[in-house]
Amino acid sequence: MLSVRSVSKRYGKTVVLDGVTFDLEAGKVLAVVGSNGAGKSTLLKSILGLLHFEGDIEVDGISVSRQGQQARRRIGYLPQHPAFHDDLSVHETATFYARIRGVPVAEALAAVEAVGLAEHAAKAVGALSGGMRQRLALAVAQLGEPPLLVLDEPTAGLDVGARLELRHFIAGQQERGRTVILSTHWMEDVPAMADLVLVLDQGKTSFFGPSSTFTAAASPQSRMFLRLNGRTDEAIPLITSLAGTVTHEGEWVAVTCLAASKAQVLAALFGAGIKVLDFRVEDAALPRTIDAGGEGGLS
C-alpha cells in the first residue's frame, strides 16, 4: 500500500530526512516515533505530496511526485492541528469537505455519526472541545473511504479518555482493511495501536520493525502521577497487579512502571470505573539507536 524509497528532504544545509526507506502492507498500522525535530511531520507531508523531496514514494502503486492528485485520492489525512471554520456547524463542515472530495453528503453524515458527533451536528465548530474537534477531523479524514489514513500526532492535546477512543478508532479502521500510518511521541501508544514502528533520529531511520521488538528494546522506566476520585484504596491493588511500585506523594498516587505499561494501567482504571481526575508523566528519553535483533533494525 505504501512504498518509501530513499526519501530525503533538505532546507538549505539542514537535512530533515536522510534516505528513509520502508514498505507498509495493506491493513497494517505503522507508528512513526521520534523526538521533536526528528522528521516525523516532514515524512508524513512528503507522503501526502505537500513537499518536494528526493527519492520516491508510491501509494497503492501510484507515484506521489508524478501523479499526486491520484495518490491523494487514496489518502485520508488528519493534521496535527486541524483547521476548520469556527462559524460553521459540524454538519456544515462535514458537508463542505464531502463536496470537495466528491462524495455523497449522506456519507459525510454517516461519518459524523460514526465518530459520536451526531447529537452535536448543529453545534458550531468553534464551540467544540479539543477532543470533539479531533473526532470531526477523523470523520473528514474517512470521507471517500481512502485505503490509507495518515495521522499526524493524533493524540496531541487529548485527555486520557479521548486517547483510548482513538485507539478503538484505529483498531476499527484496521478491521475494515485500511492501512494507517501515524506519528506519535507517546511510546505507550505504540504497542496498543501499531503493528510496526519506524523510529527517526535526526532524519535517519534508527529502527524499523515489529512493535513487539520495539517495546521490548525501548521501554524505559516511567513515573506516572495520578489524582483519583477518592477510590485510591481500590485502585492501588489494581495498579500493583499491572505495574511496578505504587506510592503516595501528597494527593497524588505515584506509579513506577515501564513506559509501555502506562496505557494499560489507565485503561484498567477506566474499566473499573475509577475516574482519573488528573495525571502527569515523567518519561525517560527515547534511545537514539535500538537493536532490533535482526528483525529490521537499522543503525
Give the CATH number of domain 221-283; options: 3.40.50.2300, 2.60.120.480, 3.30.70.980, 3.40.50.80.
3.30.70.980
Question: Concatenated DSSP letters for 56-81?
Answer: EEEETTEETTTSHHHHHTTEEEE-SS
| Highest CATH level, class, for 2-217 | alpha beta
Q: pTM for the complete prediction?
A: 0.71
Are residues 298 and 208 in contact, defined by beta-carbon separation less than 8 angstroms?
Answer: yes
> Long-range contact list for 11-17, CB < 8 A, 24+ apart?
15/202, 15/203, 16/42, 16/203, 17/42, 17/43, 17/46, 17/53, 17/200, 17/203
Domain boundaries, the chain: 2-217, 221-283
Confidence (pLDDT) at 146: 93
Most confident of 83-92, 236-245, 257-266: 83-92
* pLDDT recorded at residue 226: 87
Give the tens place of pLDDT for each residue, 155-192.
Answer: 766 666 677 778 888 888 888 899 999 998 767 678 87
For 22-45, what is the mean pLDDT? 91
Q: How far is CA 20 from CA 24, 119, 298, in A?
A: 13, 43, 11
**Per DSSP, what are the bridge partners of residue 198?**
32, 208
Question: What percentage of the chain carries pLDDT values higher than 90?
Answer: 40
Q: Is 195 in contact with 25 (CB distance < 8 Å)? A: no
Residue entry with cell 505504587: 246
pLDDT above 70 covers a percentage of the chain that reads 87
